[in-house]
Amino acid sequence: MNSDFSILRRRFLQAGAAFAAASFLPTGISRAAGVDERRLTIAPGRASLLGKDKPESDVWTYDGVVPGPLLRVRQGQPVRILVENRLDEDTTVHWHGIRLPNDMDGVPGLTQPPIRPGETFTYEFTPPDAGTFWYHPHANSLEQLGRGLAGVLIVDEIDPVAVDRDLLWVLRDWRVTLEGQIASGFGNMMEAGMSGRVGNIVTLNGAVPGDQPVRAGERVRLRLVNVSLARIMGLRFEGHDPLVVAIDGQPCEPHRPEDGRLLLGPAMRIDLMIDMTGVPGGRYRVTDDFYKGLEYELLVLAYSDEAPLRTTFPEPIALPLNPLPEPDLSAPDRHDLTLEGGMMSRMKEAGGMGRGMMQGMGGMMGMGQALWSINGTSMTGDGHADMPPLMSLARGKTHLITMRNLTAWWHPMHLHGFSFRVLTRNGAEAPYSQWADTVLMAPEDTVEVAFVADNPGDWMLHCHVTDHQMAGLMTVLRVA
Binding site for Cu ion (CB under 5 A): 96, 411, 416, 463, 465, 468
In the list ligand C2O, Cu ion, none, the entry touching 221 (Cβ below 5 to 8 angstroms by class) is none
Distance between CA atoms of 135 and 98, rounded to whole angstroms?
Answer: 9
CB of 361: closest distance to ligand C2O in angstroms?
27
**In DSSP terms, which residues pair with 153 in a beta bridge?**
71, 133
Pick between residue 93 and residue 400 the one whose CB is nearest to Cu ion: 93
Q: Evaluate whether 39 touches 81 at the Cβ level (below 8 Å).
A: yes
CB of 460: closest distance to ligand C2O in angstroms?
5
Neighbouring C-beta atoms of residue 283, cutoff 10 Å: 13
In the list Cu ion, ligand C2O, none, the entry touching 441 (Cβ below 5 to 8 angstroms by class) is none
CB of 239: closest distance to ligand C2O in angstroms?
33
Determine the interface stretch with ligand C2O among 2-10, 316-324, 374-382, 457-465 (rule: CB under 6 A).
457-465
Q: Which residue is nearest to ligand C2O (CB)?
A: 96
Distance between CA atoms of 387 and 129, rounded to whole angstroms?
Answer: 31
Residue spans of alpha helices (H) in 305-354:
347-350
Q: Are strands 212-214 and 219-226 parallel, antiparallel or unpaired?
A: unpaired
User: Contacting ligand C2O (CB under 6 A), which of 462, 471, 475, 477?
Assistant: 462
Determine the interface stretch with ligand C2O among 63-71, 199-207, 250-258, 459-467 (rule: CB under 6 A).
459-467
Pick between residue 75 and residue 466 the one whose CB is nearest to Cu ion: 466
Distance between CA atoms of 263 and 433, rounded to whole angstroms?
Answer: 17
Q: Report DSSP letters for 190-221, one per residue.
A: HHHTTT----SEEEETTB----EEE-TT-EEE
Pick between residue 8 and residue 460 the one whose CB is nearest to ligand C2O: 460
CB of 105: closest distance to ligand C2O in angstroms?
8
In the list ligand C2O, Cu ion, none, the entry touching 463 (Cβ below 5 to 8 angstroms by class) is Cu ion
Pick between residue 219 and residue 416 the one whose CB is nearest to ligand C2O: 416
x/- contact string, 75-94, with ligand C2O (CB under 6 A)?
Answer: -------------------x
Chain residues 153-212 in contact with ligand C2O, contact rule CB under 6 A: none
Our separate counts of H helices and E strands in the chain read 6, 31
What SS3 state is found at 338?
A: strand
* 401 is a site residue for ligand C2O (CB under 6 A): no
* Beta strand segments in 198-355, E: 201-204, 212-214, 219-226, 233-237, 243-247, 250-255, 262-264, 269-275, 283-288, 296-303, 333-341
Neighbouring C-beta atoms of residue 243, cutoff 10 Å: 19
Pick between residue 284 and residue 410 the one whose CB is nearest to Cu ion: 410
In the list Cu ion, ligand C2O, none, the entry touching 138 (Cβ below 5 to 8 angstroms by class) is ligand C2O
Distance between CA atoms of 379 and 368, rounded to whole angstroms?
Answer: 8
Pick between residue 301 and residue 463 the one whose CB is nearest to Cu ion: 463
Chain residues 252-311 in contact with ligand C2O, contact rule CB under 6 A: 267
Question: Closest by alpha carbon to 229, among 475, 476, 469?
Answer: 469
Pick between residue 214 and residue 422 the one whose CB is nearest to Cu ion: 422
CB of 469: closest distance to ligand C2O in angstroms?
7
Determine the interface stretch with ligand C2O among 2-10, 147-155, 173-181, 456-464 (rule: CB under 6 A).
456-464
In the list ligand C2O, Cu ion, none, the entry touching 267 (Cβ below 5 to 8 angstroms by class) is ligand C2O
CB of 389: closest distance to Cu ion in angstroms?
16
Distance between CA atoms of 472 and 297, rounded to whole angstroms?
Answer: 34
CB of 408: closest distance to Cu ion in angstroms?
11
C-alpha 86: how far from its chain's center? Answer: 26
**In DSSP terms, which residues pair with 478 in a beta bridge?**
392, 458
Q: Measured between alpha carbons, how far is residue 1 from residues 42, 66, 185, 312, 428 in Å?
A: 47, 41, 48, 20, 18
The amino acid present at 430, given as its one-letter code, is A
In the list ligand C2O, Cu ion, none, the entry touching 468 (Cβ below 5 to 8 angstroms by class) is Cu ion
x/- contact string, 405-424, with ligand C2O (CB under 6 A)?
Answer: ---------x-x--------
CB of 144: closest distance to ligand C2O in angstroms?
12
In the list ligand C2O, Cu ion, none, the entry touching 411 (Cβ below 5 to 8 angstroms by class) is Cu ion
C-alpha 213: how far from its chain's center? Answer: 26
Q: How many CA atoms lie within 13 A of 231 on its CB side?
A: 26
Contacts with ligand C2O, residue ranges (CB under 6 A): 94, 96, 136, 138, 267, 414, 416, 460, 462, 464
